[in-house]
Amino acid sequence: ALDKRNIQKQLLRIVPEKKSFDIQSAVIYKIHKRIVKSFRQGKIILAGDSAHLNSPSGGFGMNGGIHDAFNLCDKLIKIFNGSNDNLLDLYSRQRKYAAISDIQETSDQNYKKHREKDHKKRLEALKELQKIVENKDEHLKYLRKTSLITSLENASKID
């Protein structure tokens, strides 16, 4: 799998007009999937990849990290204005919930869809997406879920 001739051959299948590629190194990429026990440990606050790792497929880790920062900023503003720093524990509960129930779940589903090799199953998934797009309400619901907006709303309900 890491033989440079084999890699050249595979790349030429994708970009046949190119004669060769300067391959500096080749390694097998391993997808890490982890979530910390708590997004807060004393004065240390975690967000993004320091708190949750998942498949890079679809950018859910990045988007989730942005949502972590958005949630954390809200809490920090309140603390700077006199609220108790226990709000950081709330941040931890809300974002851990989002990481488990939305970021990782959606990332896993996306990864499986991208890795599907069965042509019939890929076609079924495409038809399902087309059906969603044809229905305005379902389309909006799908966009809100996959952009993690629904996740933000659900996490904000956690006390």
- Return the higher-pLDDT residue of 19 and 41: 41
Q: How far apart are CA 54 and CA 65, in angstroms?
A: 11
In the structure encoding, which two tokens stand for residue 127, read together?
């038809």
Q: How far apart are CA 46 and CA 132, in angstroms?
A: 35
Adjacent-strand bridge partners of 35: 52
What pLDDT score was predicted for residue 75?
97
State in words which class domain 32-156 has.
alpha beta
CATH 3.50.50.60 domain position(s) in the chain = 32-156
Q: Scan for tokens 């890699």, then name that residue.
A: 7
Residue 141: pLDDT over 90: yes
Q: How far apart are CA 59 and CA 27, in angstroms?
A: 21
What value does the mean pLDDT take over residues 78-87? 97
Confidence of residue 114 (pLDDT cuts 50, 70, 90): confident
Q: How far apart are CA 127 and CA 150, in angstroms?
A: 24
* Mean pLDDT (the chain, rounded): 92
What value does the mean pLDDT take over residues 67-90? 97
What pLDDT score was predicted for residue 111?
86
What pLDDT score was predicted for residue 86?
96
Residue 57: pLDDT over 80: no
Beta-carbon contacts of 53 under 8 Å, excluding residues fewer than 6 positions away, are 32, 33, 34, 35, 61
What value does the mean pLDDT take over residues 35-64? 91
Q: How far apart are CA 64 and CA 60, in angstroms?
A: 6
pTM: 0.78
Q: How far apart are CA 39 and CA 155, in angstroms?
A: 14
In this structure, of 32-41, 43-52, 93-102, 104-113, the range with the lowest mean pLDDT score is 104-113
Residue 1: pLDDT over 80: no
